[in-house]
Chains A and B, each alone.
Chain A
Amino acid sequence: MKELRQLRQENLETIFHPKSVAIVGTNNVKGTVPHDILYNILKADFNGIVYPVSPREKSIKGIKAYKYVVDVPDDVDLAILVFPSSVCHMALEQCGQKGIKSVIIISAGYKEVGEAGLKREQQLIEIARKYDMSFIGPNCLGVINTSPDTRLDASFAREMPMAGNIGFLSQSGALCTAVLDYASAKHIGFSKFISFGNKADISEIDLLFYLMNDEETKVILMYLEEVSDGKALMDAAREVIEKSGKPILIIKSGRTNEGASAAASHTGSLTGADEVCDAGFEQAGIIRCDNIEEMFNRARAFAYQPPPASEKVAIITNAGGPGVLTTDAAISRGLKLAKFSEETTAVLKKALPATANINNPVDVIGDARSDRYLAAIQAAFDDPDVAGVFVILTPQSMTDIDTIAADVARIAEGQTKPIYTSFMGEKDVASGIDILQKANIPHYILPESMCDSYQAVYHFNKKVKDKVHKLPGLDNIQRDLARKLMDKVKANGRSYIPEVETIEVLETYGLPVPQGKLATTADEAVETAEKIGYPVVMKVVSDDIIHKSDVKGVELNLGSADEVKDAWKRIHSNALAAIPDATITGLYVIKMVKGAEEIILGIKRDPSFGPVLLFGLGGIFVEVFKDVSFGVAPLSREEAMHMLEQTKAYKILKGTRGRNPRDMDSIVDALLRLGQLAVDFPEIEELDINPLFVLDEGSGSVLGDARMILTKTE
């Protein structure tokens, strides 16, 4: 039996390039889905044979119809099921009997309607597995392939889009129709357009792999409502980017924090589903977009223009104000203004009037016509420091908008540097924008969108595309010993694991544990303190006490045997005053760390992405400051360092206001080890290290406190 991924890829090839299509359950009633699917296939000039299958009609649209798909005398490559959901399984069974491997199920009434629908969906999956079939859907708008050798519009969209090199996938069929309309107005073409609906069989991951190998697709766009398997999506995205270099842009809706459950740990309460999604997408090289406009602004830049070699741009404008706005937008997004060479300056001085500004941004001034624009744009293209050209236009009475647009389109052809435009306004510039869009010159209503899109392309091509996700080898990992300790803890049926036992487990993975010991008597506490050296810290250890500080169960800076003995009594008394029924196992005596930075590290298991790591400024106010970052385990060394760089704490750790730089390598090492621990032990639901004391550079770090929560078993 073929491996499922390979089977789906083969069947997808047939879905997109069928030589024959059966529309099963179609009819003659205009304005219904079963009719309109067939109508669209014919209207798009499908380059193959069409077989309508209808229980009652002898013919549809002048084409002979068959009662059942098994009655069709020839082989059928693709079946499109448009029967109601109550009988689709019967149609699918017949498709299987006929040897059809590739199916699109348009019909709704499946898992989206509840339990009964889910059962019907599972029935479809069983039939598909039985016959080695693959299907897109159910509950989808359909599939479009604009390739001239196929021209398949197997959807009930209003119009077939124009051909292009953007592949679009969506979980929402209704959004698809809005996107098609939006794209049509902006002359944006698609290679493949896919509504995958309930993704009961073929998922967005299968489709990503398909588009990876599709020669007509240069950019992949996706709309997702839920990420069922975040880890698989990350792995797929990495593979797609590595093998094809194609950018993947995703809108993932549902940015609320309701996913962050009321968790026992700081890490748990800080880790929301959307933050995890952001982290996972970034690690995988996926470009997350906030809305359709942003997605298509960036997509056009990727699809239509060469990638820029650097962040240095030249701005050509006929008005000072928009030139400044564009400059502000560029700089705030990390772009730079190119510095013109003497030759460029000389060319501009000759071509432009004395009142023009020949420095970057170049202002060809308000009465400029196409000749000045052409001269300035060409000079910018020729300048060695310029990597990309922005053309800004405002419609003065003498501005020959359409000519300028046509000139931009002409001059851009064959250039190795990208050109982006912003013709500001709406009515007067409309025809000029139309010319630009038809010529595949990216146009943006706002300079901010233009700069954002340039930055997205630059960043992807320079920082993401060739990134190698290499996991570091870690020494000093005692997996078997950790397993023994975890089994011992789990045997007691506990899910909350307090500090001492958590630190024992962390030690087996090479994390820097404090010097110290659990003392069950005051004398033992003194003995330990004398052994490790004063000052020491003492903390209450009890399965019934989670937040030790809240019960005054922690004492710091104990400098003598007498202080230890006094603290012993006080801690016991405080703890039992706060929680009278608490069983106190003992007090943990550890060497005090002074002069260190306190940070928090954590693990939380996300249902979709798996183990997620957290880093941030620590201490008891961590939930107040929320200066944290996330990473999906396992991490590469670069990803771990990037987690630090994303926070305000990073500047503190680098050394500021006369303070020494801290040992960031030790934090990175700790994150890598925690990540490995989380991957190796799926029973770890949450884990907090708060604080990790980070010493000066070269001096390492020490765990201050830690606790773990395991998955509850029935």
Chain B
Amino acid sequence: MEKNEILTRVKDVVSNVLKTDPGEISDDSNFIFDLGADSMQSVELVAGFEEEFDIEMDQDKALEIQTIDDAATFIAGYL
């Protein structure tokens, strides 16, 4: 899967979970600092990515991911 497609789908998940306008999500957006995800939402995001991409991720490592771009790179590793 191309990185761009992964990025688009990651942003869709984020938009749904955080109820954020997709236009406000850029590749270098930080989940906490720019998008305001709290700890509960971070877990929901991980679950959302797993469902979206039909993968099972290392939870601890997944929760350390800081940005949209980092998330796409991390998910690409499972595809």
**Chains A and B bind each other:** yes
**Interface on A for B, CB 8 Å cutoff?**
27, 29, 32, 54-57, 83-84, 86-87, 90-91
Interface majority SS on B: helix, strand, loop or mixed? loop
Q: Are B38 and A55 in contact (CB under 8 A)?
A: no
Chain B's nearest CB lies how many Å from the CB of A29? 7
Pick from B20, B30, B39, B66: contact of A56, CB below 8 A.
B20
Q: Are A55 and B66 in contact (CB under 8 A)?
A: no
B52 at the interface (CB under 8 A from A): no
| Contact residues, B13-28 vs A (CB, 8 A) | 18, 20
Chain A's nearest CB lies how many Å from the CB of B49? 18
> Which residue of the partner chain B has the closest CB to A56?
B36
A91 touching B33 in the complex, CB below 8 Å, given contacts A56-B18, A56-B20, A86-B66: yes
Q: Within 8 Å CB of B18, what residues of A? A: 56
Q: Knowing that A55-B32, A55-B33, A55-B35 are A-B contacts, what are 18 other residue pairs whose CB atoms are under 8 Å apart, sorted by A's residue number?
A: A27-B36, A27-B38, A29-B38, A32-B38, A54-B36, A55-B34, A56-B18, A56-B35, A57-B36, A83-B32, A83-B33, A86-B32, A86-B66, A87-B30, A87-B32, A90-B30, A90-B33, A91-B33
> Which residue of the partner chain A has the closest CB to B66?
A86
A54 to B32, CA, bound (A): 10
A90 to B30, CA, bound (A): 10
A27 to B32, CA, bound (A): 12
Chain A's nearest CB lies how many Å from the CB of B60? 13
> Which residue of the partner chain B has the closest CB to A89?
B33
A87 to B31, CA, bound (A): 10
Q: Within 8 Å CB of B39, what residues of A? A: 84
Chain A's nearest CB lies how many Å from the CB of B36? 3
Q: Within 8 Å CB of A57, what residues of B? A: 36
Q: Within 8 Å CB of B33, what residues of A? A: 55, 83, 87, 90-91
Interface majority SS on A: helix, strand, loop or mixed? loop
Q: What are the nearest 7 A-B pairs in CB distance? A: A56-B36, A55-B36, A87-B33, A87-B32, A90-B33, A55-B34, A84-B32
Chain B's nearest CB lies how many Å from the CB of A12? 27
A56 to B30, CA, bound (A): 12
| Contact residues, B49-79 vs A (CB, 8 A) | 66
Contacts A/B (CB < 8 Å), 24 sampled? A27-B36, A29-B38, A32-B38, A55-B32, A55-B33, A55-B35, A55-B36, A56-B18, A56-B35, A56-B36, A57-B36, A83-B32, A83-B33, A84-B32, A84-B39, A86-B32, A86-B66, A87-B30, A87-B32, A87-B33, A87-B66, A90-B30, A90-B33, A91-B33
> Which residue of the partner chain B has the closest CB to A29?
B38
Most buried by A among B20, B38, B39, B66: B38
Q: Within 8 Å CB of A86, what residues of B? A: 32, 66
Q: Within 8 Å CB of B34, what residues of A? A: 55
Q: Within 8 Å CB of B36, what residues of A? A: 27, 54-57
A87 to B42, CA, bound (A): 14
Q: Within 8 Å CB of A90, what residues of B? A: 30, 33
> Which residue of the partner chain A has the closest CB to B32?
A87
A84 to B36, CA, bound (A): 11
| CB contacts between A and B, total, < 8 Å | 28
A112 to B35, CA, bound (A): 27
Q: Within 8 Å CB of A91, what residues of B? A: 33
Q: Within 8 Å CB of B32, what residues of A? A: 55, 83-84, 86-87
> Which residue of the partner chain B has the closest CB to A57?
B36
Q: Within 8 Å CB of A83, what residues of B? A: 32-33
> Which residue of the partner chain A has the closest CB to B41?
A56
Chain B's nearest CB lies how many Å from the CB of A531? 78
Chain A's nearest CB lies how many Å from the CB of B20? 7
Chain B's nearest CB lies how many Å from the CB of A106? 15
A29 to B37, CA, bound (A): 12
Chain A's nearest CB lies how many Å from the CB of B1? 28
A57 to B32, CA, bound (A): 13
A29 to B36, CA, bound (A): 12
Q: Within 8 Å CB of B38, what residues of A? A: 27, 29, 32
A86 to B38, CA, bound (A): 12
Q: Within 8 Å CB of A27, what residues of B? A: 36, 38
A91 to B66, CA, bound (A): 14
Q: Within 8 Å CB of A87, what residues of B? A: 30, 32-33, 66
A593 to B50, CA, bound (A): 87
Chain B's nearest CB lies how many Å from the CB of A419? 54
> Which residue of the partner chain A has the closest CB to B40?
A29
Q: Within 8 Å CB of A55, what residues of B? A: 32-36
Chain B's nearest CB lies how many Å from the CB of A159? 26
Q: Within 8 Å CB of A84, what residues of B? A: 32, 39
A86 to B31, CA, bound (A): 11
Q: Within 8 Å CB of A29, what residues of B? A: 38
Most buried by B among A56, A83, A86: A56
Q: Within 8 Å CB of B35, what residues of A? A: 55-56
Chain A's nearest CB lies how many Å from the CB of B19? 8
Chain B's nearest CB lies how many Å from the CB of A680? 51
A32 to B40, CA, bound (A): 13
Chain B's nearest CB lies how many Å from the CB of A189? 36
A55 to B25, CA, bound (A): 12
Chain A's nearest CB lies how many Å from the CB of B72? 19
Chain A's nearest CB lies how many Å from the CB of B45? 14
Q: Within 8 Å CB of A54, what residues of B? A: 36
Most buried by B among A32, A87, A91: A87
A605 to B48, CA, bound (A): 58
Most buried by B among A27, A32, A83, A86: A86
Chain B's nearest CB lies how many Å from the CB of A109? 12
A192 to B18, CA, bound (A): 40
Chain B's nearest CB lies how many Å from the CB of A310? 61
> Which residue of the partner chain A has the closest CB to B29?
A55
